[in-house]
Chain A
């Protein structure tokens, strides 16, 4: 698996820039509330896209993710959601589901 250190450093530097902009420029710049809402919404859109694109491979994995989704909607505790997803996928594979 290849993740060059440069990529991690660029991600870290860009992230730090986002974090530092407020403390450094607060007196001169204001963030419009609409931009703020848009940025939070963009984060949710990306994370959900990531869920969708990383779920589909065979049948056992999406089934596990589906169980996680149902438990999440029902406000199950975090560890329960994650372990149930892995367990569902593992059991399905054990009985031969790809």
Chain B
């Protein structure tokens, strides 16, 4: 692991801190939303994908079924498929490393200039983030059990706020805004007539609004 520079280690540490804050919010939101503490904790260990975890619990909290929650989570995580191809060489031989494939770890791995650097960046950031994420979710879940009136504290606004904060940087990219806004409009319209969870999946129709050759 000698090929990791001090700057890279600092970057990894910063991302760990940021993800730990998201993880703590996830644990607290899930538990204050009515889940048993083991739900966010087990989910974080075996799913280990923040967006899908938030989506799944968010849909169930909104009154949607488990099927819609799982389907949405799986569509979200389909983006990990190309990521797996991108870091295949790094994970080969130690397949349990595949569990560490996330947006962040792949981004770190691809920063490496050669195979060894990519390997080190992936594994160091992966193991660090796995630890940071799971510990922070436990802490958040425990904190969530102490919170009484979650509505008075405005905690129900935290869930959409977290997601919005996570996706806003990507919304400035070319060709993203039209399908995203169309999908949001479709989901909002559908939510007036369809049961929770289904409208979110229907938003995928917004993909039809993407510009050609974007």
Question: What residues make up the interface of A, taking CB atoms closer than 8 Å to B?
Answer: 1-12, 14-16, 18-24, 26, 29-31, 35-57, 60-61, 64-65, 68-69, 71-73, 78-79, 81-82, 84-94
Known: A18-B77, A53-B62. A45 touches B154 (CB 8 A): no
Q: List 19 A-B contacts (CB under 8 A).
A: A1-B39, A8-B47, A10-B70, A11-B47, A15-B47, A16-B98, A18-B74, A22-B98, A38-B207, A48-B181, A50-B58, A50-B163, A51-B184, A55-B160, A64-B161, A68-B161, A78-B22, A82-B25, A85-B161
With both beta carbons as reference points, the residue of chain A lying nearest to B56 in the complex is identified as: A11
Give the interface segment out of B4-12, B81-89, B110-118, B128-136: B81-89
Q: Given A11-B52, A12-B46, A19-B101, answer yes or no on A88-B157 (Cβ-Cβ < 8 Å).
A: yes
CA distance A12 to B43 in the complex (A): 8
| Given A11-B73, A42-B75, A46-B76, also A1-B61 (CB < 8 A) | yes
| A73 and B168 form a contact (CB under 8 A) | yes
CB pair A51 B160 closer than 8 Å: yes
Asked if B57 lies at the interface with its beta carbon under 8 angstroms from chain A, I say yes
Asked if residues A86 and B200 are in contact (CB atoms below 8 Å), the reply is no
Whether B161 pairs with A82 at a CB distance below 8 angstroms is yes
Given contacts A23-B92, A47-B55, contact A11 B74 (CB under 8 A): yes
- In the bound assembly, the distance between CA atoms of A54 and B187 in angstroms comes to 10
Type the 1/0 row for B151-178, where 1 means its CB is closer than 8 Å to any CB of A: 1111111111111111110110001100
Contacting pair B207 A41 (CB below 8 A): yes
**Known A39-B81, A49-B203: A23·B88 in contact at CB below 8 Å:** yes
Decide: A53 and B79 in contact? CB cutoff 8 A.
no
Given A18-B80, A48-B184, A55-B160, residue A23 in contact with residue B91 (CB < 8 A): yes
Interface SS, A side: helix
**Which of A6, A18, A72 has the most CB atoms of chain B within a 10 A radius of its CB?**
A18
Q: Establish whether residues B83 and A22, one from each chain, have CB atoms under 8 Å apart when the complex forms.
A: yes
Q: A23-B91, A36-B82, A50-B163 are in contact. Are A43 and B39 (CB under 8 A)?
A: no
CB atoms of A21 and B73 under 8 A apart = no
Residues from chain A with Cβ under 8 Å of B76 in the complex: 42-43, 46-47
Most B Cβ at <10 Å: residue of A11, A45, A91, A92? A45
Q: What 1/0 flags go to B29-60 for Cβ under 8 Å of A?
A: 00001111001001100111101101111111
B156 to chain A: which residues have CB within 8 Å?
57, 61, 89
Query: Are A31 and B81 in contact, with the CB atoms below 8 A?
Result: yes
Q: Say yes or no: B75 contacts A46, CB within 8 Å.
A: yes
Q: Which residues of A contact B35 (CB under 8 A)?
A: 1, 3
> Cα distance A53–B184 when bound, in Å?
8
Within 8 A of A (CB), among B163-214: 163-168, 170-171, 175-176, 179-181, 183-184, 186-188, 191, 196, 199-204, 206-207, 210, 214
Q: How far is the CA of A38 from the CA of B209 in the complex (A)?
A: 12
